[in-house]
Amino acid sequence: MVGTPIGNLGDLTPRAAEALRTADLVLAEDTRMAARLLAHLGTRTATLSYNAHNASLRKPTLLARLAAGETLALTTDAGMPAISDPGAELVRAARSAGAAIEVVPGPSAVTAAVAVAGVEAGGFLFGGFLPARPASARAATLQRLLDAARLAAVPLVVYEAPHRVAKLLAELGQWAADTQVVLARELTKRHEQVVVGTPEQLAREVAEPRGEYVVVIGGLGAAAPEPTPALDTDALRAAAASAGLSPRSIVELLRAAGVARRDAYRIARQPSTEQPRSRRPKPGLKVR
């Protein structure tokens, strides 16, 4: 598992460079991207495409090569493989087959964006790419992530394609209009850009979006609970007495409503302020 630069080839670590040079095969989402990286290193290690479309087809061959003692370097176009990119399934299958799994850490767009965002928090919630369609699944996923981040009081970080970032800002404007959002694009590249503002303010910054975005949504602290209405114990006691409940039952009712025991007994003993109901005279009796 070899981490590769997210834009600037100078970020490739010496250990990652050695892993790519000495591997029997480099697996890459796009072999053209891998060829560029290998040319930078001055090596001609063999490459093979491995992506979401051919992962199942490639897996038996790759497991056979591992069983034969070969070393495979799994990469992605940018960053760490298996982080919002293909790779997790192959890692599980290789481990089950008895292969040794070694990680060579490298750059990651999500941690780079959180670092440059300047959002103070003990952690963050990473949502990866939101579903492109259907719209209902996208909306439900975003709402679920926002709720989870708000409950944990941490920023939410998602990836977004350039042609959908304006839609994301519009959605955030509906559900989290006052929150601070950080848009980071082309990180470590020549045209790196990081802008901060509310969803409405940033909507003007993406009139011509280019490059994939990392979106850091901050200010999602847990919402203050709505105040619980004060219990009208007098009204509760009066209603219970009017219904014919005994003092003992009224005490139990007050206790169930959260009233302390001593207060429950005191309230239950209070005389009712309601006028007693008039009794109809029995037939044959005169009332004076």
Tell me: pLDDT of 232 over 50. yes
- The DSSP 8-state label assigned to residue 6 in this structure reads S
CATH architecture designation of domain 9-96: 3-Layer(aba) Sandwich (3.40)
pLDDT at residue number 84? 83
Tell me: pLDDT of 178 over 90. no
pLDDT at residue number 251? 82
pLDDT at residue number 89? 92
Residue 185 CB neighbours (<10 A)? 23
Amino acid at residue number 228 = T
Tell me: pLDDT of 162 over 80. yes
**9/125 Cα distance (integer angstroms):** 28
CATH architecture designation of domain 109-217: 2-Layer Sandwich (3.30)
pLDDT at residue number 222? 53
Span of 169-183, 196-210, 250-264 with lowest mean pLDDT: 250-264
pLDDT confidence band for 227 (50 / 70 / 90): very low
Supply the mean pLDDT for the chain. Answer: 86
**167/138 Cα distance (integer angstroms):** 11
Tell me: pLDDT of 261 over 60. yes
Give the residue from 152, 150, 160 showing the smallest Cα distance to 113: 160
271 preceded by cis ω (within 30°)?
no
pLDDT confidence band for 256 (50 / 70 / 90): confident
Domain with CATH 3.40.1010.10 in the chain: 9-96
Domain with CATH 3.30.950.10 in the chain: 109-217
**75/53 Cα distance (integer angstroms):** 16
pLDDT (tens digit per residue) in 106-128: 999 999 999 999 888 889 999 99
pLDDT at residue number 26? 98
pLDDT (tens digit per residue) in 78-107: 999 998 888 999 999 999 999 999 999 999
pLDDT confidence band for 224 (50 / 70 / 90): very low
